[in-house]
Amino acid sequence: MSEFAGDEEILKEIMESFVTNLPEMIAAIATAIANNDCKALEFSAHTVKGSASNFYVQAVVDSAFVLENQGRAGVMTNALENYKVLEKLTHELTTELRSFLKKAG
């Protein structure tokens, strides 16, 4: 994350914001899938993708991108399975970010 070099406070703020807001973002994806709302799925997955891209965790970005494309295409087939993958990956990412934030004080 070289664009944050020398400014750890901004990086920590971005991490804290992501960790705080992620549960709501993930819940929005789950709700979109439950409601068969393709537009909401596209928007919510795009939001997660953009937020996660700050941390260069390609697996999370790719997983959100799959859901975003499903929403855009109006295809909900396997959306729940793809959501579960994203949920697992984002859980792992937030665990790592929380650990970093705790160590950084």
User: Is the entire prediction scored with pTM above 0.75?
Assistant: yes
102: phi then psi, degrees, rounded to nearest 5: -65, -40
pLDDT at 1: 47
Report how far residue 31's alpha carbon sits from residue 17's, in angstroms, rounded to the nearest whole number. 21
In sequence order, what DSSP letters do the residues of 34-62 get, joined into one string? HTT-HHHHHHHHHHHHHHHGGGT-HHHHH
Superfamily designation of domain 7-104: HPT domain (1.20.120.160)
Per-residue pLDDT in tens (0 to 9) along the chain, 105 residues: 445 555 788 889 999 999 999 999 999 999 999 999 999 999 999 999 999 999 889 999 999 999 999 999 999 999 999 999 999 999 999 999 999 999 887
Report how far residue 81's alpha carbon sits from residue 84's, in angstroms, rounded to the nearest whole number. 5
pLDDT at 5: 53
pLDDT at 104: 82
pLDDT at 6: 59
pLDDT at 36: 97
In contact, 67 and 41? CB cutoff 8 Å: yes
Residue 71: exposure state from Cβ atoms within 10 A (0-12, 13-18, ≥19)? buried
pLDDT at 7: 75
Structural domain spans, the chain: 7-104
pLDDT at 68: 98
User: Could you tell me which of 36, 30, 47, 44 has the C-alpha nearest to residue 81?
Assistant: 30
